[in-house]
Chain A
Amino acid sequence: MTDKNEKLKYDVAGQDPYKSDSWIYSDVVKEHFFNPRNVLLDDSGYKADGTGMTGSPECGDVMQVWIKVNPETKKISDCKWRTFGCASAIASTSVMSVMVTENNGMSLEKALNLKPQQILERLGGLPDRKFHCSVLGHMALREAVLDYLKKNDNTGNRE
């Protein structure tokens, strides 16, 4: 089951996501860069349950993430983001925002434990030199989840 899905994802992207020493971007990356999902340019009217921000030591670019959490299911019901990062950061975070909200939302535990490899797989890979861009989104997401847990009487420890 997993294998079949993965095969499909590779085919869609037209390249093996793990042979990524070139500068070629997959079609999924391009599609999400030109049509990014869940961007929030003006957050003044947005009521978030948790917010997170992170900066990249590699390039200095900054990422902000806002989440809403369904109080009953404790799953992420909405995920918005904004960045001054590059095309790879935009595509990665766009894909991530879809991953955490699809199928009735991702649990907070899974979101805390989201790995760059899960995002890379969905993206159809990124050049190694752009790996640092792909971690910005989920690092800010983790801050947002921890922020939510802190505000809701939980220390945010993973245990």
Chain B
Amino acid sequence: MTIPETENNRLILKEKKEEANDVVTLKFCPKNGELPDFRAGQFVMVGLANKELSGITKSYTISSAPGEKLLSITVKRKGSFSQALYDLKVGGEIKASEPQGFFFPSENSQDIVFLAGGIGITPFYSIIKDTFKKNPDKKIHLFYSNKTLGDIAFLKDLDKLSAEYKNLRIIHLLTREQTRDPRVKEFKRLDADILKRHLGDLSRKDYFICGSIGFVNDLWRELKKAGVKEEEIFTEAFF
């Protein structure tokens, strides 16, 4: 599927920031006109001008929050498309679709649990910034699983956010590295026992799972086994 040719969907890379091993944030401004409106948690479909990759589109979650001056996506390099994005130079251009997707808490959710596997942090990073700016009374627990300390994207920014907002609790998990870093509390794969230990009662919360297909499916099953209702679970797999 190609992104329609319009004047307004071209974005120019303004800034680039290294976030973690193989992960960069790309910050864009519009080539013409204004940035599109979006809800925190939505994604855009991206197209590249490269000859070999033209005609291919891939989805990337917007990692900036609504209201920020530039529109960001945060990319982990894996195959050829994400590598080309990773290598994009400041001044380079992409095509982006209208923001889309429904992966965000409703206004009524008060007690929210985010389960992020690796680069699956991107929607949560945007939603956390947006939610607390508007409503610091909401409660958010973020369980963030990575292989090693060097893989944790937004580590410092998340530290700052949790220092600023007392209702944000972040639980870092590492699956392939032991570290003395006091921010990391768990050294195994995320499961229902860990969730219970930190949350107590699992009921009456809204759970959002984002990461690879395997991560999302495993945690969906863990939550259901622990008695969480399907209506209280929301998923986004990066495929």
Chain A residues with CB under 8 Å of chain B are 2-3, 6, 17-18, 20, 55-58, 60, 110, 112-113, 115-118, 120, 128, 131-132, 142, 158-159
In contact, A159 and B59 (Cβ under 8 angstroms): no
Other-chain residue from B57, B234, B237 in contact with A57 (beta carbon distance below 8 A): B57
Q: A6 to B234: give the CA distance in the assembly, Å.
A: 19
In contact, B107 and A18 (Cβ under 8 angstroms): no
Q: Which residues of B are found within 8 Å of A20, using beta-carbon distances?
A: 213, 217
In contact, B218 and A118 (Cβ under 8 angstroms): no
Other-chain residue from A18, A55, A112, A116 in contact with B235 (beta carbon distance below 8 A): A116
Mask for B203-239, Cβ within 8 A of A = 1, else 0?
Answer: 0000000000110111011001101001101110101
In contact, B214 and A128 (Cβ under 8 angstroms): yes
In contact, A159 and B230 (Cβ under 8 angstroms): no
With both chains docked as a complex, state the minimum distance between the C-beta of B224 and any C-beta of chain A, in angstroms. 7
In contact, B239 and A131 (Cβ under 8 angstroms): yes
Closest residue of A by beta carbon distance from B59 = A57
In contact, B45 and A18 (Cβ under 8 angstroms): no
Q: Which residues of A are found within 8 Å of B45, using beta-carbon distances?
A: 57
Closest residue of A by beta carbon distance from B100 = A139
With both chains docked as a complex, state the minimum distance between the C-beta of B212 and any C-beta of chain A, in angstroms. 9
Known A-B contacts A57-B1, A159-B107; the reply to A131 vs B221 at CB < 8 A is no
Q: Which residues of B are found within 8 Å of A6, using beta-carbon distances?
A: 224
4 pairs of A and B residues whose beta carbons are closest in the complex:
A117-B220, A159-B107, A18-B217, A57-B1
20 contacts between A and B (CB under 8 A): A6-B224, A18-B214, A18-B218, A20-B213, A20-B217, A57-B1, A60-B1, A110-B231, A113-B231, A113-B234, A115-B220, A115-B230, A115-B233, A115-B235, A117-B235, A120-B217, A131-B237, A131-B239, A158-B102, A159-B108
Closest residue of A by beta carbon distance from B57 = A57
Mask for B92-120, Cβ within 8 A of A = 1, else 0?
Answer: 00000000001000111000000000000
Q: A17 to B213: give the CA distance in the assembly, Å.
A: 12
Q: Which residues of A are found within 8 Å of B220, using beta-carbon distances?
A: 115, 117
Chain B residues with CB under 8 Å of chain A are 1, 45, 57-59, 102, 106-108, 213-214, 216-218, 220-221, 224-225, 227, 230-231, 233-235, 237, 239
Q: A55 to B59: give the CA distance in the assembly, Å.
A: 13
With both chains docked as a complex, state the minimum distance between the C-beta of A28 and any C-beta of chain B, in angstroms. 16
Q: Which residues of B are found within 8 Å of A118, using beta-carbon distances?
A: 230
Q: A158 to B39: give the CA distance in the assembly, Å.
A: 13
Q: Which residues of A are found within 8 Å of B235, using beta-carbon distances?
A: 115-117
Q: Which residues of B are found within 8 Å of A120, using beta-carbon distances?
A: 217
Q: A133 to B33: give the CA distance in the assembly, Å.
A: 35
Q: A82 to B116: give the CA distance in the assembly, Å.
A: 34
Q: A3 to B108: give the CA distance in the assembly, Å.
A: 29
Known A-B contacts A3-B225, A113-B231; the reply to A142 vs B58 at CB < 8 A is no
Other 13 A-B pairs with CB < 8 A, given A117-B216, A132-B239: A6-B224, A18-B217, A18-B218, A57-B1, A57-B59, A113-B231, A115-B233, A116-B237, A117-B221, A117-B233, A131-B239, A142-B102, A159-B108
With both chains docked as a complex, state the minimum distance between the C-beta of A125 and any C-beta of chain B, in angstroms. 9
Closest residue of B by beta carbon distance from A2 = B224
Q: Which residues of A are found within 8 Å of B230, using beta-carbon distances?
A: 115, 118
In contact, B217 and A117 (Cβ under 8 angstroms): yes
Closest residue of A by beta carbon distance from B108 = A159
In contact, B217 and A158 (Cβ under 8 angstroms): no
Closest residue of B by beta carbon distance from A58 = B239
Q: A88 to B168: give the CA distance in the assembly, Å.
A: 40
Q: Which residues of A are found within 8 Å of B108, using beta-carbon distances?
A: 159
In contact, B225 and A128 (Cβ under 8 angstroms): no
With both chains docked as a complex, state the minimum distance between the C-beta of A146 and any C-beta of chain B, in angstroms. 10
